Each structure stands twice: as structure tokens, then as C-alpha cells.
Amino acid sequence: MRDITYPAVIVAAKTLFKVLGQKITVTGAENIPREGGALLAFNHIGYVDFVYGGFAAQPAGGRLVRFMAKKEVFDHPVGGPIMRSLHHIPVDRGDGIASFHHAVDFLKKGELVGIFPEATISRAMELKEIKSGAVRIAQEAGVPIIPVALWGTQMMMTKDRPKDFKRGKRISIIVGEPFVPTGDDANAETERLHGILSGLVDEAVATFPESEQPAGSWWVPARLGGGAPTLERAKEMDDEERRERARRRAEKRAAKKK
């Protein structure tokens, strides 16, 4: 697959990391293969997760990750052409069959594909319920799933919080050991993935310097002593957000009919 834009984007991102004085640590990078297909499954805590998620594969010979992202991003007049030039995969939440096969095809061709199995950002800052799509895609393609935990990205840009790109932020990336789904029980293996990825997120929180993560910090899960909403409250907030979006769409449709 020919990549013209991706290398330039990586150079620009690394330059930005240096300008911002960011301290990025990648643990377990040896778990990402230097060749062959693999599905990288990430937790989702901020809008810039895909940038740092892609960085996780750089130690593996500079490999590139093709991310699965919602179709609306590809519809954007500026972001869309860029996403397509990076060979990312659009996901139509109303009909995910095409994106499923697109991802499987890439994996069978030896590509790394990135997926956020929670589908949306977790306001709770811990892993919420995940979809079975990751396990089903990996099983169909016959490739391993590699769980990857991101931590610190939420401090820059996430839901309900102002953007904060001040210098010196720390980003932690922990790459777990790969496992190959058997296909015997997609739900059970999805639970397995949830447990592994949740454990990696807890590890990332626990190993983050206390001086940069004071007790009660808003970006830390309530379960771990932080100020983020509980999973239950976060779900309520997500539901409220969905209802509000539906209301706005209905108003727009009604306005067009007038």
C-alpha cells in the first residue's frame, strides 16, 4: 500500500510532541510484530487517542496503523481527504458490515488495524462495555489482538473539558501481550479482552507519577480515587447526550420541511 501523506503526518506529530515538551513512554512495544497483520485494541479517553495510538507502533520498525473511525470524520471537508489518504477505515454505525470486511481485508494483507472497541470516549476514564467487533474481526482475519492502554491523552482534549495543550504533559502507552481469538465464543473472548485492557489501564494509572496526578484528579477513575464520573453516571451522561443529539436532528428535519 502506497503511503505519501502518512510519513509526513508522523514527522509533524513527532515535531509537535517535542515542541510541547511531552514525555511519552511506550512499554511493551516488543509485543507489536514487525510484520504481518494484527488488530490493536485501544481504550478511548480523548479525542487525540488515535495520534498516540499510532505512535505505539513506531518502535516496531515504524509500522503504520490503519484506524477504524466513525464515518462522520470522513465526511468532513478537510479531515475526510486526510483520513482517506492515511488509508483509515470509515465505520458506519448504522451498517458496519462494509467496515468489518474492509478491516479484515487489510489485516489479511498484513496491515496493522487500530480499533476502539468502546466505540465512544469513556467519560469515566476507565474501560466501559466493549463491542464484540474486535474479537470477530480478528477471528475472521486469523490475526492476534494486541490490547493497548493509553493514559494522559485525556488531559489534552476530551469530553466536557476545555482543551489543554500546555507544555510538559506525560503520555503513557502500555502494549499488552497478543492473543488469538479462537472463535468458539465471541462474547467470552470479548470479556477476556475487556479484562486484559482494563488491567492495562489500571497499570497505567498506578505507574503514573503521583506528582503529575494528584489525589482526586478529574481525569482519574472514581474507582481509583479520582474525580471522574462513575461508570454508571458516565452512562447516564452518554444517554443524555444521545437524546440531545436526536432532538437536534429532529428539529433540523422539521425545519427543512417548512
What DSSP string describes 161-226?
S-----TT-EEEEEE---B---SS-HHHHHHHHHHHHHHHHHHHHHHS-GGGS-TT-TTS-GGGT-
Whole-angstrom distance, CA of residue 47 vs CA of residue 112: 20
23 beta partners: 170
Residues in the chain: 258
Q: Provide the whole-model pTM.
A: 0.93
The CA-based dihedral angle spanning residues 37, 41, 46, 50, taken in that order and rounded to the nearest 10 degrees: 0
Whole-angstrom distance, CA of residue 164 vs CA of residue 213: 15
Residue 77 pLDDT: 85
* Domain ranges within the chain, ordered by starting residue: 5-228
Residue 258 pLDDT: 72
> Coil, strand or helix: which one is 4?
coil
As given in the structure block, the three cell numbers for residue 103 are: 478491516
Answer for the pair 31, 40: CB distance below 8 angstroms, yes or no.
no
In a structure prediction context, what are the per-residue pLDDT tens digits for the chain, which is 258 residues long? 788 999 999 999 999 999 999 999 999 999 999 999 999 999 999 999 999 999 999 999 999 999 999 888 888 888 889 999 999 999 987 777 999 999 999 999 999 999 999 999 999 999 999 999 999 999 999 999 999 999 999 999 999 999 999 999 999 999 999 999 988 899 999 999 999 999 999 999 999 999 999 999 999 999 999 999 999 999 999 999 999 999 999 988 888 887
Whole-angstrom distance between the N-terminal and C-terminal Cα of the chain?
A: 48
175 beta partners: 148
The CA-based dihedral angle spanning residues 122, 127, 131, 135, taken in that order and rounded to the nearest 10 degrees: 140
Q: Distance of CA 230 to CAs 5, 15, 42, 109, Å?
A: 40, 36, 20, 40
